[in-house]
Amino acid sequence: MPPVPASAIATRLSAIRQRLEAACRRCGRAPESVQLIAVSKKQPVAAMAAAAAAGQQLFGESYVQEFIDKQQQLDLPLEWHFIGALQSNKVKYLRGRTALIHSVDRWSLAQEIDRQWGRIGQRARILLQVNLAGETSKAGVAPDQLSELASQISTLAHVRLEGLMCLPPYAADPEQVRPWFRQLRQLAATLQLEVLSMGMSHDFEVAIEEGATLIRVGTALFGERD
């Protein structure tokens, strides 16, 4: 599939926004309670610029080098989230440059984020990625280790744990993903965390119905990645 032309991105963005609003109406939520993250990994900067011109301010990237490169190229007042696997030795490159890290899944990584953000006298906002189905191919803390990790993190002065993120098993029918979203919401409620990052291109409406506050949409907006 060829990349989506920049001229089509505004149209696709507004279609996604309409779907977001319709999902909110169905479950009686305010549309402002759900933020759309444009997942721009492996997409050209021109496509991001087109989305920004159409009003999209929040972007999600998965690779540190690409994140840095694009941030330098796109000198716009955007909000950047980091959503991919993160090695501790690369945290320093993100220091002060990302509004939210979605993918923290271990104590050593949280400690390194704390150390780096401490150097700039700020507090990093983070989510814990939860591996709900115990998939070996995916990162994430196991549900039964979540509360211990959360309580360790609560001792860190330069990290603020705000919520949970998941990347559940793919199912062609989004209804089959619903129980995973519901489980993430229940885990967050137990920990009194408010932010729920869940739902992607093919299942974000179900995620919204289950309480998502951040949805991460790539393909539906930008088309297939290289």
Ligand X SMILES: *Cc1c(COP(=O)(O)O)cnc(C)c1O
Q: Which residues contact ligand X (rule: CB under 6 A)?
A: 39, 41, 62, 83-84, 167, 200-201, 216-220
| Residue number of the CB atom closest to ligand X | 218
Instruction: Give the residue with the Cβ less far from ligand X, 62 or 116.
Output: 62
Least distance between ligand X and beta carbon 131 (Å): 12
Least distance from C-beta 100 to ligand X, angstroms?
12
Query: What's the chain's length in residues?
Result: 226
Rounded to a whole number of angstroms, the minimum distance from the CB of residue 181 to ligand X is 13
| Of the candidates 46, 111, 43, 124, the residue with the CA atom closest to the CA atom of residue 82 | 124
Alpha-carbon 170 to chain mean position: 17
31 or 174: whose CB is closer to ligand X? 174
CB of 119 to ligand X, least distance (A): 27
* Long-range contacts of 74-78, Cβ-Cβ distance < 8 Å, separation of 24 or more: 74/45, 74/48, 74/49, 76/49, 76/52, 78/52
Provide the 10 A C-beta neighbour count for residue 144.
Answer: 8
Q: How far is the CB of 217 from ligand X (least distance, A)?
A: 5
Q: Which is nearer to ligand X, 39 or 52 (CB)?
A: 39
- Name the minimum Å distance from CB 7 to ligand X: 20
Question: Which lies closer to ligand X via its Cβ, residue 118 or residue 174?
Answer: 174
Q: Which is nearer to ligand X, 135 or 148 (CB)?
A: 135
Nearer to ligand X, 156 or 220 (CB): 220
**How many Å apart are CA 104 and CA 128, to the nearest integer?**
5
